Amino acid sequence: MTFLRRALLVSASLALLTACGGDTRAIPATPENTVQNPAVTPASSPVTPSASAVEKSPSAEFAGLPAPYADADYARGRRTFKLCQSCHTLAPEGQNLVGPPLYGIFGREIGASEGFAYSNAVSEADFIWTPEKLDEWLTSPRNFLPGNKMAFSGVRKPQDRLAVIAYIMLESGYADSDE
């Protein structure tokens, strides 16, 4: 492939990735995808890690939660919950949406939210919601309980799951429970 073709391909790929909301910083610089101009030498400057690369300290909001949830990041949990909020509410008098309300979920039997039409898989399941069960569920709802109607693929990153579970614990009355 000629130098010009390679440069155009890299430029077009980066433009497409940026237009689709991709993070071009995640593409490592390699000889194959880097266009070099021998007349220009890059100035050496210190590299500042991105905010996501910096390890955050535990959030004060989660201080009353048990380990490991007390060490979670509140902002990350709140941000990750945005994936859930179109289908679930956290309010004490939350209404059924596409999914049942999550207030008071911990310590409640699966499929026991009043007035929600659960799938047969959920209705026939027999367990009590705990933070650990929710972690298993959020990893992959379809694999955890085949046949459920939840059309959500899961939360891939363990730190995102930890944070969103801590957020749900805090916002759904977990601290008020007798657990």
Task: State pLDDT tens for residues 89-138.
Answer: 999 999 999 999 999 999 999 999 989 999 999 999 999 999 999 999 99
Domains observed in the chain: 1-35 (no CATH), 60-176 (1.10.760.10)
- In three-state secondary structure terms, 144 is helix
The model's pLDDT over 15-31, given as tens digits with 9 standing for 90+, comes to: 433 333 343 344 444 44
pLDDT at 42: 42
Cis peptide before 68 (omega within 30 of 0): yes
pLDDT of residue 141: 96
CA 169, 89, 159, 111 torsion-angle sign: positive
Whether this prediction's pTM lies above 0.75 is answered by: no
Contact by Cβ (8 Å): 65, 166: yes
